Every structure is written in C-alpha cells, then in structure tokens.
Amino acid sequence: MVDIIPRSGVFVRSDIPLEVLGSPDPYFKIHSYELQRSDTYVQALQQIGREVLVRFLERSKILPAGEEIAKQLNISPETKVFRRYRVQIVDRTPFRIMEEFYLASLLKELCERDQELYPLQRWNSNYVPFLKWLKEEKNFYPIRVYERLKCRMPTDKEASILKIARNQPVVEMHRHVWGKFMKDDKEILFEYSRLICNASLHEFQYTYDIEKNNRP
C-alpha cells in the first residue's frame, strides 16, 4: 500500500494491514462475516505483533434514545440505550470511528465495564469478547445483520480523529443487528452502529445470490 503525506509530495510505502470486511472465499456465502470475526480480528493482529487499542472519544453512557436512534432501533424515544463512541487504533494508526447504540436493557453491564476501561482499552488474557459475553452472560446471540455503505469525504472532526486529509475518502457504514435469546424464536433489533472507516485501510468483499428467475 502506498500512502501520500498531504502537502509534502512524499510517497511512503506502508506495511499497515488492510482490514477485510466480507467473506474471503467467493464461493462461501456468509452474512456479516466481519461481525462474526470482529473479536478474533484483534487477536489475529496481536499474534503477528500488531498493537491494537481502542480509545474512548467520550465516556460510554446510558441515555434516552431520542428521535433519530429510536427510528433506527424501532423503539420509543424514551427507551434507554447504551452508547459507545470510540476509535480503533492499530500500530498507532486510527482505522475507524465507532459510534454504537445498544438496548440498555440487554447490555447495561457493559456500560459499567467501559467505565473501568476508559480512556484506553487494551486487550489481555482476561478480556471477554463481546459476542462471547452475550452468549455466556445473557444466553443471547446475533442472527442477522443489515449494513449500508456510503463512500464520502470526511468532516473536519472525522479527519482529525482519523488523522487524514480532508480530501481523503472514508467509508460510512450503518449497521443494524438482530438477535435471539436461547430457546426463543423472537428476533430483537438490539444494535445500531455508525462506523466511519479510513477507506485506504479497508477492503469490502460480498457474495450474494442472483434472483432465481434470471437463471437458466
């Protein structure tokens, strides 16, 4: 990968790894591959010597959803949600900004844990990955994901957090996640997240079926 240092005219070959979001096998159909591997991705980078950190941009908190988030989660504006606002950093390079909203009734304990981690989260042998925690502590597991991508230029604030130039594109991802309790067939929309990714450090891969009436 080649990086351009703004206004310097210098080109630097960088060994920063790309984060691949999507299935690496074009013949293997899987939904939300990045979400399924999000916990192991950190571990995989650490195993090859990468330093992975998450910096809290604000303290995590529980608050009323408000009109905008209520529409995304299909809840009333008064319903409490758990909000996280963080940036993921690999080898001192910001990869993506993560603003996440969860149903507080399901995940309020994680808000308490975040207070202990603030302002910088480091992974160690005692850390329990998010999806594993949901399964073991809540008997709850994600089953379905909807993601919408948009490529655009960053705002001043986003460019400052990601340490990029204002003319360097980002990919904005809106993610909705549904889940179920064990032995319960009811689907629950429990997460809405907005991710702002440094486009030069991410690669997206998708596999999907073509409608049957278009097949021979």
pLDDT the model gives residue 3: 42
- pLDDT tens-digit map of 105-147: 999 999 999 999 999 998 777 778 888 899 999 999 999 999 9
Which amino acid is located at 148 in the chain?
R
Length of the chain: 216
* Spatial separation of the C-alpha atoms in residues 120 and 114, rounded to whole Å: 10
Place of tokens 């999806």: 131
How do beta strands 202-205 and 19-22 pair? parallel
**CB under 8 Å to 82, separation ≥6 — which residues?**
60, 61, 62, 101, 102, 103, 104, 107, 108, 110, 111
pLDDT the model gives residue 71: 98
Ranges of each domain in the chain = 29-206
Percent share of the chain, pLDDT over 70:
77
pLDDT the model gives residue 216: 60
Which burial class, exposed, middle or buried, applies to 151 when counting CB atoms under 10 A from its CB (0-12, 13-18, 19+)? exposed
29-206: CATH architecture: 3-Layer(aba) Sandwich (3.40)
